[in-house]
Amino acid sequence: MVVMQNTSASTGSVYLIGAAGQLGRALIARIPDTREPARVRPLTSADIDITDATSVAVALAGLTADDVVINTAAYTDVDAAETDRAAAYRVNADGPAHLARATAAVGAWLIHISTDYVFSGSALGGTSERPDEEPEPRTTPYEPDESGAVVPATVYGASKLAGERAALAADGRTTVVRTAWVYTGGPDSRDFVGTMRRLEQTRETVSVVDDQLGSPTYALDLADGLWELVSIGPVRGIAGATLHATNGGRATWCDVARAVFIEVGADADRVHPCTTAEFPRPAPRPAFSVLSGASWADAGLTPLPEWSAALHRAIAAPVAADGSLP
Ligand SMILES: NC(=O)c1ccc[n+]([C@@H]2O[C@H](COP(=O)([O-])OP(=O)(O)OC[C@H]3O[C@@H](n4cnc5c(N)ncnc54)[C@H](OP(=O)(O)O)[C@@H]3O)[C@@H](O)[C@H]2O)c1
- Please spell the DSSP secondary structure of 127-186, one letter per residue: --SSTTSPPPBP-SPBPTT-TTT---SSHHHHHHHHHHHHHHHH-TT-EEEEE-SEE---
Is 156 designated active site? yes
Is residue 111 in contact with ligand 1, taking CB distance under 6 Å? Answer: no
Q: Is 17 left (phi over 0), alpha (psi -120 to 50) or beta?
A: beta
CA of 195 to the centre of ligand 1 (A): 19
Tell whether the model's pLDDT for residue 113 goes beyond 60: yes
Q: What is the pLDDT, as a whole number, of residue 131? A: 60
Tell whether the model's pLDDT for residue 230 goes beyond 70: yes
CA of 225 to the centre of ligand 1 (A): 18
| Distance, CA of 320 to CA of 119 (rounded, Å) | 37
Q: What is the pLDDT, as a whole number, of residue 128? A: 47
CA of 63 to the centre of ligand 1 (A): 22
Q: Of the given ranges (97-111, 122-136, 275-289), which has the lowest mean pLDDT?
A: 122-136
| Distance, CA of 280 to CA of 298 (rounded, Å) | 38
Q: What is the pLDDT of residues 162-191, one digit of tens each?
A: 999 999 999 999 999 999 999 999 999 999
Helix ranges (DSSP H) in the chain: 22-29, 53-59, 78-81, 85-89, 95-106, 155-170, 192-202, 219-232, 253-263, 294-298, 307-316
Contact in structure between 180 and 222 (CB atoms under 8 Å): no
CA of 45 to the centre of ligand 1 (A): 10
> Choosing from 15, 89, 142, 156, which is the catalytic residue?
156
Q: What is the pLDDT of residues 29-72, one digit of tens each?
A: 999 999 888 899 999 999 999 999 999 999 999 999 999 999 99
Tell whether the model's pLDDT for residue 7 goes beyond 80: no
Task: Answer yes or no: CATH 3.40.50.720 is held by domain 14-184+218-248+290-305.
Answer: yes
Is residue 91 in contact with ligand 1, taking CB distance under 6 Å? Answer: yes
Is residue 163 in contact with ligand 1, taking CB distance under 6 Å? Answer: no
Is residue 74 in contact with ligand 1, taking CB distance under 6 Å? Answer: yes
pTM metric for this prediction: 0.95
